[in-house]
Structure 1
Amino acid sequence: MELRQLEYFIAVSEELHFTRAAEKLGISQPTLSQQIRALEDELDIPLFDRIGKKIAITEAGSILLEQSLQIVRNLQNVKDSIAELHNYKKGSFVVGALPSDLDYRISNLLIDYHKEFPKIWLKIVSSVEIAAQVLENEVDIGIGIMPFPDDRLVRIPLCREEYVLVVSERHAWAGRDSIGIEELRGLDTVMFPSGLIGRELVDDCCRKYGFTMNTIMETTSITSVIHLVKANIGATVQPLPLIRSLNDPALRTIRIADDPPTRNIGIIYRTDRFLGHAAKAFMQKAAEHFTAR
């Protein structure tokens, strides 16, 4: 069994089509089919069910795919580790971050990091499914709301943030300093859509008191939420540090005095993921950035 065969097998598993997989690999379709047959002969079991022009991965194929992906990841970790010996200030990695934090809170972190590591190629991906992206190896590091404990993930807490009610300067409650959580009952609000983790944190808190918010408009964009609030369409409930970072005089923040919703922000990455000096330095700067705020 050769690494090349495993790479061929992974490509066929992803495409579930020999011709497309061959084109992706840059080899001929007969060559690819021959290599997969050789792999099946060596293991003495079919890896794919061939149904006409369609194929489906078998149970044995699923087992091999899981192990093959791990082998490829381990090999990449070896390459990354050795590359660190050449020049730790070169390299690349991908970070996943919540859209709202990416828009308003992480820019200074990126600026500071680039000043120290100008040769690092850094990609920031906006996502509300950060844990899933980390587990699927779509990003190397995630910064966001801490997921439930998972043996596959390293979880590093950064900070705990309180949610507050946010209203326009023209809102009837603009002069208030605090409210009780039950006063949210019946209040017109503009929020992220139901199901998003930030929205669920707020909804869960309200459900404990036997009500749901009267959300009259939903949008996935924090910029849009803020514009609607400033237009006095409705209020919103958002993390206090996020609203403070906007520094918008047209907004008013009102503390929720009793049992406010909170979110725990942290860094996550796969336990089997190699992180070089540059990535570790980024995590250190992220910790300093969120602590300072």
Structure 2
Amino acid sequence: MEIRHLHYFMAVYEELHFTKAAEKLGISQPTLSQQIRVLEDELGMPLFDRIGKKIVVTEAGSLLFSYTTEVFNTLQNVKDSIKDLQGLQGGQISIGIMPSDLDYRITQLVIDFHQKFPKVKLKILASIDIMRQVLENEVDIGIGTNVESDDRLVIIPLCREEYVLTVSKEHPLAQQTVIPIAELEGLPMVMYPEGFLGREIVEEAVKKHGFHIHSILETSSVTSIMNLVRANIGVTVQPYPLLQQMNDPSLCSIRISNGAPSRSLSIIFRVDRYVSQATTAMIEQIKHYFKSK
């Protein structure tokens, strides 16, 4: 069995179409079909059922996919570890982070890291599904929210952050410093859509007090949310450090008492992923950054 056969297999597995897979690989369709047959003959079992123009993965194909994924991850770790012998003079780090934190929280972190290690390329990806990004190797590390224990992950706790009610300075509540969570009931709010973690955290907190938030406008963009609150369209509930970082005099933060929503932040990465010197340096930078906030 050769590595190229596994690459051919993975292409067909992902596309479920021999012609498209062949185009992706830059080879002819007959050549690809012949190479897959060679692999199937070696294994003694079909990897795909060909039903007319439709292709279905067999049980043997699913099993080969699992092991091939592990093989390719191991090969990538070997390449990364050898490249790492060059030290912090190059390479790339990809990081997954919540969109709101990307917009307002980590600019200084990125600046500081780049000044220390200018030859390391950073790739920051916004996502509301960071655990999936990490587990599917789309990013090297993630800054996850309320991450549950998982044997596949290394989890490094960073901090816990409370949410606050955020209103325009023109809002009738703007002069308050504290509001009981029960008094959030009925307030017209601008929030993330249902299914977004930032929305679920707030909903879980108010649900304990017997009500749901009254959402009048929903958007997936924290920038839009803040612009709408600034215009006094409604209020919102967001992490207090986010508001601190924005430092916007047109917005007022009101602490929530009697059970404020909160979130925990953690660095996460796969237990089987090679952690380069550059990535280790970034992890330490992230830990220091959040500790100092």
TM-score norm. by structure 1 comes to 0.98
Q: What displacement does 1:146 show?
A: 3.1
Matched ranges for 1:145-224 at <5 A:
145-224=145-224
Amino acid at match of 2:263: R
Pairing 1:237–2:232 present: no
Q: Report the secondary structure of 2:42's partner residue.
A: helix
Matched ranges for 1:246-265 at <5 A:
246-265=246-265
- Poorly superposed stretches of 4+, deviation over 3 Å: none
- Over residues 91-120 of structure 1, what are the superposed CA-to-partner deviations in whole Å (9 max), with x where a residue is unaligned? 112111111000001100000111111111
- Return 53-62 or 156-165, whichever deviates more: 53-62
Identity percentage of aligned residues: 57
CA distance in structure 2 between the aligned counterparts of 1:31 and 1:152, rounded to whole angstroms: 37
Which residue matches 2:40? 40
Would you say the 8 A contact 2:158–2:287 is kept in 1?
yes
Which residue matches 1:111? 111
Amino acid at match of 1:53: K
Which residue matches 1:91? 91
Q: What displacement does 1:138 show?
A: 1.1
Q: What displacement does 1:34 show?
A: 1.4
Amino acid at match of 2:29: Q
Matched ranges for 1:34-73 at <5 A:
34-73=34-73
Q: What are structure 1's unaligned runs of at least 5 residues?
A: none
Would you say the 8 A contact 1:77–1:274 is kept in 2?
yes
- Over residues 58-104 of structure 1, what are the superposed CA-to-partner deviations in whole Å (9 max), with x where a residue is unaligned? 11101100110110010110111011113332111211111100000
Which residue matches 2:142? 142
Pairing 1:282–2:243 present: no
Q: What displacement does 1:122 show?
A: 1.3
Q: Report the secondary structure of 1:12's partner residue.
A: helix
CA distance in structure 1 between the aligned counterparts of 2:270 and 2:65, rounded to whole angstroms: 18
Amino acid at match of 1:61: G
CA distance in structure 2 between the aligned counterparts of 1:35 and 1:100, rounded to whole angstroms: 47
Would you say the 8 A contact 2:87–2:277 is kept in 1?
no
Q: What are structure 2's unaligned runs of at least 5 residues?
A: none
Would you say the 8 A contact 1:146–1:155 is kept in 2?
no
Amino acid at match of 2:132: A
CA distance in structure 2 between the aligned counterparts of 1:197 and 1:230, rounded to whole angstroms: 23
Q: What displacement does 1:17 show?
A: 1.0
Would you say the 8 A contact 1:146–1:267 is kept in 2?
no
- Over residues 158-192 of structure 1, what are the superposed CA-to-partner deviations in whole Å (9 max), with x where a residue is unaligned? 11000000011011111101011000011111111
CA distance in structure 2 between the aligned counterparts of 1:47 and 1:23, rounded to whole angstroms: 20
CA distance in structure 1 between the aligned counterparts of 2:25 and 2:132, rounded to whole angstroms: 27
Would you say the 8 A contact 2:219–2:225 is kept in 1?
yes
Which residue matches 1:128? 128
Which residue matches 2:26? 26
Q: What displacement does 1:210 show?
A: 0.5
Amino acid at match of 1:161: E
Would you say the 8 A contact 2:88–2:117 is kept in 1?
no
- Return 9-18 or 142-151, whichever deviates more: 142-151
CA distance in structure 2 between the aligned counterparts of 1:285 and 1:157, rounded to whole angstroms: 14
Would you say the 8 A contact 2:193–2:219 is kept in 1?
yes
CA distance in structure 2 between the aligned counterparts of 1:21 and 1:174, rounded to whole angstroms: 59
Number of residue pairs the alignment of both structures matches: 293
CA distance in structure 2 between the aligned counterparts of 1:17 and 1:147, rounded to whole angstroms: 37
Would you say the 8 A contact 1:206–1:212 is kept in 2?
yes
